Amino acid sequence: MNREKLLLWTLAAINFIHIVDFMILMPLGPQLMRVFEISPREFGLLVSSYTFSAGISSFFGAFFLDRFDRKKILLWVYVGFSVATLGCALSPNYPILLIARVISGLFGGLTSALILAIIGDVIPNERRGRAMGLVMAAFSVASVLGVPMGLFLASLSDWHMPFYILTGLSILSLGMIFQFIPSITEHLGKEIQRPHPLVVVRRVTSNPNQMRAITLSVMMMFGQFMIIPFLSPYTVANVGFTEMQLTYIYMAGGAFTIFTSPWVGKLSDKYGKLKIFTIFMSLNVIPIAIITHLGVTPIFFVLVISTLFFVTSNGRYVPAAAIITGTAKPENRGSFLSFNSAVQQLATGVASLIAGIIIGETATGELTNYNVVGYIAIVFSLLCIPLARRVKIIS
């Protein structure tokens, strides 16, 4: 295996650990709400704290990370991420876990920005798409293997175990960074005029088309992340799943999206991004409506509906990402996407927080008002369709 492949596998490993660290908290919801005796509102804050801090750090990181050797800054950032993950594992109570999640998000957001920067610096343009695909495949692998395995281990032991294992994997990947990522300093010798964060904000906010694209990103996050953080707690408390059976939902959903994601991409290129986006966004509201109204239900039916939810959610995102990316000219695309990514993560946090405020809990532990959250998510999802029609692709 050549050096380039070893570098890409290292970046993929880092991305996998970072994504599992973010995703694992949501299916651990039932355990955390029981152990810490916290309300849905407090759990919503726990989920959103990570995305808030990741959104802020990923935006500002795009403007100061370029001042350092990529390898050195990645090592420092990843040491911080590893320590924060260990902090999650050792957390004895809710307030300390909340602080640890905020710190994890700060370093996690910087990790994402650095991975993209290293690929852009090291991999030639003609191989960059394939390289990006390999590293980004970590999301699907995290869904299919990482999250179910974490849940399985948590059900055998307790909620601390996945974070201990993630800490161990982080230490191993630190060794991979030392071994397989070279010193990357070529960008330091270039006199590049990098825009000030306020200039980027002003440039985007003064462009009506890009503002429509940003709004589309925000509304899509509201259509999903009012539902996803509470999917596991609701499925256990109201639908009758055991915490072990939750692994089936994430395994089935992740496995199907591995195959459907490339298929949706081909459909978007063949029939038009807006048309495929409209179809999948319309289909997505069906599982949202069913999931948020379920009572005690057989496992097979729940798996069919939850898998349809993951497949249609992924299916609407693929063409939407292409539409949003196409609103920026090549010379401004990096800063625009950095801003859009930060806004997306902040919107994810706000959506989780609002859902936590709306959802209540009965004396027997069942969640209430999940159907109300579902109605709101459906409204946001359907409003995305006419908005997407007003977004113009310019490049």
Residue 144's pLDDT is what? 67
Residue 138's pLDDT is what? 72
In 3-state terms, what secondary structure has residue 193? coil
Cα dihedral value 148, 153, 156, 159, nearest 10: -100
Compute the distance between CA of residue 155 and CA of residue 163 in angstroms, rounded to an integer.
13
Model confidence at 196: pLDDT above 90: no
CA-to-CA separations, 270 to 88, 215, 276, in angstroms, rounded: 45, 26, 10
Top mean pLDDT of 8-12, 224-228, 369-373 is at 369-373
In 3-state terms, what secondary structure has residue 343? helix
Residue 148 or residue 351, greater confidence:
351
Model confidence at 387: pLDDT above 90: yes
Residue with tokens 């999948």: 280
User: pLDDT (tens digit, 9 = 90+) per residue, 44-84?
Assistant: 899 899 988 988 887 777 667 767 788 888 899 999 999 99
User: What average pLDDT score do residues 87-116 get?
Assistant: 90
Q: Which of 173, 153, 156, 175 is nearest to 164 (CA)?
A: 153
- 38 within 8 A of 45, measured Cβ to Cβ: no
User: What average pLDDT score do residues 168-194 get?
Assistant: 78
CA-to-CA separations, 390 to 201, 216, 272, in angstroms, rounded: 21, 10, 15
Contacts 24+ apart (CB under 8 A), 265-270: 265/318, 268/318, 268/319, 268/322
Residue 88's pLDDT is what? 94
Model confidence at 86: pLDDT above 80: yes
User: What average pLDDT score do residues 203-231 get?
Assistant: 91
- 153 within 8 A of 89, measured Cβ to Cβ: no
- What do you get for the CA distance between the two ends of the chain, in Å? 36
User: What average pLDDT score do residues 166-175 get?
Assistant: 93
**Which residues face 367 on adjacent strands?**
361
Residue 145's pLDDT is what? 74
Per-residue DSSP letter, 297: -
Top mean pLDDT of 40-44, 155-159, 247-251, 386-390 is at 386-390
* pTM listed for this prediction: 0.82
Residue 264's pLDDT is what? 83
